[in-house]
Structure 1
């Protein structure tokens, strides 16, 4: 009788250990499946903790937390005081649940920030998201021009929707290496000091209230060894298309020795009377190049 009980006891221990092992293996398999879905299934809701491009992503602001900072300390929403200068959009209608909206109203001081009519987010407080000479980066963002009023005749009054900017002031100096702007009814690239301007969409009106996707690859340099390549993916297009390229080019418009740092901004900045401007932004990413 004792031998039978001992054998039964050993069998029970073996079955228990086997069940625990299977449970752990299932848990690992489940985690791998979730990771694969997050990376490869576009219909799967993206989380703030997702990684892209084999872990090369430095910043991924996708707003899937439903919050202004996308769950990332250091991401700001706006410095304008108006209650609707920034708000969360749900659903985003671009395969994600959430996006951020920025709004400005010409002549309304509640939409004034840093000395001008603007409502912009930024990531300047995130050390890893800053850029300096020698850095090679990819920048991505999606934008929807909400009920965008066609250009009113007269002065152009460009509205900026995204900036690769270098900090500075009247004593230290700096510049804006690249701005995406609407000008009249076009989308244009404006480079540092307005030394170069390139219209990449000649007529925006067919694309109002649709998501537009942009990508910029940059080698940051404070001499003529850098490059800047801009790509675009319009509604109906499956791949990004190169729309402008600068090589052997000074890309960093500042001086690190006096404290200038590079950072990104997205939102809406300036407009003409009497317009209201609203833009949605999503999938703000910074990716380290070259990809691993």
Structure 2
């Protein structure tokens, strides 16, 4: 029987945290322990970029044995998909899992990422590293790196917050080290939605750096957009330009991606169960 490598995920899957969650629905676990770029899940899209090294499995994992790397090199059409330089995996075809989210649903998400040999950009162009992506629309929530700051976005780019300044500072760079994220989100198209984001930086034992936003729209209500959202991770360099001084190549690793839809969340229980 397959046993997830993350204790947090395992607790959700086997019901060890039954006191914390009133109902647990179809969890998604993408931890790459199969050694394959889709983590053994047929619906996970690995990348639409055509370069042979646009996405590949690596042995430098957050935990366990494997993680995934995404690579984008500017000015090379092999790293372009949907008209932009990007290489991203996504869950928009994993229909039966919590990798798909809908209006009026609630979920917990965890993932880890590692910037590989990154140098600061002087142009101010941002590289997107993680998206809660609204189908046929903008990202509902996203994580990116702009110049030397790790950024959090919500409601597309309408709201932006620097989570960490000087991420790539000489002598204290977070490059080639793992950063862990945890999101708790109530998806709502009206102004009753909310999210809580926790982060764990290298060397830290517990999650912290908490960002909470309540009374907001978390699910894009724009007419004409899709009826669901999904998870997307990799490198998206929409505005990247070597002519403007952006580094030609960016590589990022992701690991320990998990999503669990829930009906009822008890905050105290969540805090105890979600620490891995």
Same fold (TM over 0.5): yes
Residue correspondences, number: 243
Counterparts of residues 92-241 of structure 1 (less than 5 Å): 92=61, 94-127=62-95, 128=97, 129-151=99-121, 153=122, 155-168=123-136, 174-205=137-168, 206-241=173-208
Matches within 5 A, 1:66-85: 66-85=35-54
* Conserved? CA contact 1:143–1:282, under 8 Å: yes
Structure having the higher helix fraction is 1
Tell me, which stretches of 5 or more residues in structure 1 are unaligned? 1-30, 43-49, 169-173
Gaps of 5+ in 2: 16-23, 267-276
Give runs of ≥4 in structure 1 deviating > 4 Å: 37-40, 255-258
Q: 1:195 to 1:257 in 2, by over 3 A?
A: closer
Cα offset, 1:80, TM superposition: 0.1
CA distance in 2, matches of 1:202, 1:39: 29
Match runs of 1:236-275 below 5 Å? 236-254=203-221, 259-270=226-237, 271-273=240-242, 274-275=247-248
Q: Does the 8 A contact of 2:190 with 2:221 survive in 1? A: no
Distance 1:148 1:257, change over 3 A: closer
In structure 2, C-alpha distance between the alignment counterparts of 1:286 and 1:62, rounded to whole Å: 11
Question: Larger RCO: Structure 1 or Structure 2 (Cα < 8 Å, ≥ 6 residues apart)?
Answer: 2
* Deviation larger for 127-136 or 213-222: 127-136
CA distance in 2, matches of 1:161, 1:91: 18
